[in-house]
Amino acid sequence: MTLDLSRTRSETARLRLLRSFVCLFCLGALPAQGDDLLVSDRLQRLKGMKIQELLDVSVTSVSRRPQKYADAAAALFVISSEDIRRSGATRIPELLRMVPGIEVAQIDANKWAISSRGFNGRYASKLLVQLDGRTLYTPLYSGVYWDAQDTLLDDIERIEVIRGPGATLWGANAVNGIINIITRSAHDTEGGLLELAVGNEERTSGAIRYGLPVGDGGALRVYAKGFERDGSVTRSGEEGGDDWRGGQLGFRADLDLSTEDTLTLQGDYYDGDAGANLARRSGLISAEADISGGNLLGRWSRQQGMDSALALQIYYDQTRRTNWTLTEIRDTLDIDLKQDINLAGRHLLVWGLGYRTTRDDLSTGPGSALRLDPSRRQDTILSGFIQDDLSLANGRLHLIVGTKLERNDYTHWELQPNIRLLWNMATDTNLWAAVSRAVRTSSRFESDSIIMAGPIVISGNPELTSERLTAYEVGLRARPRENLSIDLTAFVNQYDHLQTYKMVGRGLVLTYDNGGDGIGYGVELASNWDLTHAWRLKLAYSWLQMELNSDESASIASIDIYDSAPHHQLSLRSWVDIGSNWEFDTNLYFVDGVENFASDAYVRLDVRLGWRLAPDMELSLIGRNLSDDHHGELSNFRGGSVADGLVYTQVERSLLLQAKWFF
């Protein structure tokens, strides 16, 4: 555990945004000469994707096999490589703001709260996140350490985001959503990339990547990146103490073993430290989290004919994390076998088996209020799934039925079925509906922890059952005009056995319980509109309502914490091409307030001005949070402090100058 009470942070001169920059950005939004626009071949390949081509993009997250985005029977949103480039984002969490139904709130300079369809918070636990097939959540609390999840953004091919359950194919904890980050093949990244950026918040960052052919039909890329980020400020204007720095390196090799067999090998190593301020009776103190880890993944695939394939994936992952509360060392081994089979031209069958074991070593320092018993534990998950996509009515109707059977060491056997229906109403219109069951198993923390918060003791409960969801969804995906697409989803989520606290005996001893239930319902909309050849608008909107209850034995406050997502969210993105070498991109977000977290509604404006200096060189000036000096995106529960005393901070206005050179 690292806790430095006397550590002083060097004062850094902060660049101040000038109003003239904002005026310059606004002038850049004037309509371009759309019909006379001359675009290079490379930019045409990036920018020229029409609405129909977007609908035809191949995705894999919904059915665990390649299919068209338009034919996916789920609430799916795809963040393309061009979305990433023109967003001006430097972190994966910032990219997720554009997705309807996904709640993204920055806690401080290095921490985020991210969830889907409600239940947001620092320890959000109902969202499954994957990077190239490697699961990123920690079994410690069934959530994601977003400060440890990174890759070179230019290497990401797409991010597939499913709102709603996907447990039939992906297993427990894929309850309210799945984020599947997919990087490019090494074949697509041959050559070099050098990237540098400087700014007032993102002080310095840099990355280098190089790819080259290997042998007969193979390719390899290696990369390294590093960054240093300034700290933010608290609500009262004090330094947040949350400055952040880190580095990462990795590789990926894609090898063609034969005409049917391919092999992918990839790995990463990262190291960094993230600061924070803690609230104590004596005042604010500085603390630091040391973060490091690495992973190695291998995936063999064999194409067995049209719509038939076999794949075996194995990965090992180690995480090391030390902060002011806990030291965690975790090793994970995961083996996954999957096969796609085309039966009689009408059945697209996918089945698979999975094995995962995770071993941890947890320790706390002297005087810590947290203890875990036992301090070391190994857990295993065994699973199997099967799903059939039956084609009816000459392919215009698809009935999709499947289930997953899983055995874990906390709640033991879990069955997670789903049934989906896809109707191709017209050439450019698909209607789908689904009924699904998903579970969120209890975590190591909820089972084995003991917290002594003054006179109150909170004890883990190894007898917890899984939190359960039954989801009802219906969606419409259509292209009413050649230059306009609409993706609309409505859903009702019915929850049971939600975790709460209950009093044990007559003392001030609480334990975890399954005393909560309720429903969540809402509407989500995503739309693309090409106004001209040079101007595209992207709209996303979501409305969410939660109605949660707890039984008489549960603490009222504990169930209120779950009602922690904004009712309304809106994003409007504009891409304007100015001549052949300039781009002006604006990203406007509105996020409703969250009463239980004393968080106010806010408007966020991010702007990017891009200049293509040469065929292989790009310069971008990026402004973030231009709508105000600073604002909070998530506050502590009803203004109180969280268990470890972490001080939540404000998101500040910032400016970033970024240069990329492809060689």
pLDDT tens track for 426-449? 989 999 999 999 999 999 999 999
pLDDT attached to residue 367: 74
pLDDT attached to residue 464: 94
Binned at pLDDT 50, 70 and 90, residue 122 comes out as: confident
| Ranges 24-28, 44-48, 77-81, 91-95: which has the least confidence | 24-28
Asked if the model's pLDDT at residue 4 lies above 50, the reply is: no
Asked if the model's pLDDT at residue 423 lies above 70, the reply is: yes
pLDDT tens track for 148-168? 999 999 999 999 999 999 999
HSE at residue 284, side-chain half, CA atoms within 13 A, is 19
Number of Cβ within 10 Å of residue 643's Cβ equals 12
pLDDT attached to residue 599: 82
Q: Which two tokens stand for residue 212?
A: 């080259």
pLDDT tens track for 178-226? 999 999 999 999 999 999 999 999 999 999 999 999 988 899 999 999 9
CATH number of the domain within which 487 lies: 2.40.170.20
pLDDT attached to residue 500: 87
Binned at pLDDT 50, 70 and 90, residue 39 comes out as: very low
Place of tokens 């052949």: 580
Q: Is residue 411 part of a domain?
A: yes
Looking at per-residue pLDDT, the higher value among 38 and 592 belongs to 592
Instruction: Determine what percent of the chain is predicted with pLDDT higher than 70.
Output: 89
Asked if the model's pLDDT at residue 17 lies above 50, the reply is: no
pTM for this model (two decimals) = 0.90
Asked if the model's pLDDT at residue 145 lies above 60, the reply is: yes
HSE at residue 358, side-chain half, CA atoms within 13 A, is 21
Asked if the model's pLDDT at residue 365 lies above 60, the reply is: yes
Q: Is residue 4 part of a domain?
A: no
Q: Is residue 7 part of a domain?
A: no
Q: What is the mean pLDDT of residues 473-484?
A: 95
Asked if the model's pLDDT at residue 144 lies above 90, the reply is: yes
Q: What is the mean pLDDT of residues 606-624?
A: 96
Asked if the model's pLDDT at residue 18 lies above 70, the reply is: no
Q: Which two tokens stand for residue 317?
A: 């992952």
Q: Which amino acid makes up residue 599?
A: S
Q: Is residue 291 part of a domain?
A: yes
* Closest residue by Cα to residue 586 from 43, 21, 86, 128: 86
pLDDT attached to residue 554: 58
Instruction: Determine what percent of the chain is predicted with pLDDT higher than 90.
Output: 71
Q: Is residue 8 part of a domain?
A: no
Burial grade of 547 (CB within 10 A; 0-12, 13-18, 19 or more): exposed
Asked if the model's pLDDT at residue 612 lies above 50, the reply is: yes
pLDDT attached to residue 50: 73
Binned at pLDDT 50, 70 and 90, residue 49 comes out as: low
Asked if the model's pLDDT at residue 92 lies above 90, the reply is: yes
pLDDT tens track for 455-469? 888 899 999 999 999
User: By the 8 A CB rule, do 375 and 352 touch?
Assistant: no
Beta strand pairing status for 484-503 and 509-532?
antiparallel
Q: What is the mean pLDDT of residues 612-621?
A: 95
| 3-class secondary structure, 637 | helix
Beta strand pairing status for 456-459 and 509-532?
parallel
Average pLDDT, the chain: 88
Burial grade of 296 (CB within 10 A; 0-12, 13-18, 19 or more): middle
Q: Is residue 605 part of a domain?
A: yes
pLDDT attached to residue 41: 41
Q: Is residue 303 part of a domain?
A: yes
* Closest residue by Cα to residue 96 from 168, 30, 181: 181
Q: Is residue 39 part of a domain?
A: yes
| Alpha helices, H only, 190-334 | none
| Ranges 35-39, 54-58, 565-569, 648-652: which has the least confidence | 35-39
pLDDT attached to residue 560: 55
Beta strand pairing status for 191-199 and 244-256?
unpaired
Asked if the model's pLDDT at residue 8 lies above 80, the reply is: no
Q: Cα–Cα distance between 322 and 320 in angstroms, integer?
A: 7
Binned at pLDDT 50, 70 and 90, residue 507 comes out as: low
Q: How far is CA 278 from the centre of its chain?
A: 26
Q: By residue range, what is the domain housing residue 565?
A: 19-662
Q: Which two tokens stand for residue 249?
A: 């390196």
Looking at per-residue pLDDT, the higher value among 534 and 507 belongs to 534
pLDDT attached to residue 562: 64
Asked if the model's pLDDT at residue 345 lies above 90, the reply is: no
Q: What is the DSSP letter of 449?
A: E
- The count of structural domains within the chain is 1
pLDDT tens track for 169-191? 998 789 999 999 999 999 999 99
Q: Which two tokens stand for residue 219?
A: 């390719």
pLDDT attached to residue 147: 93
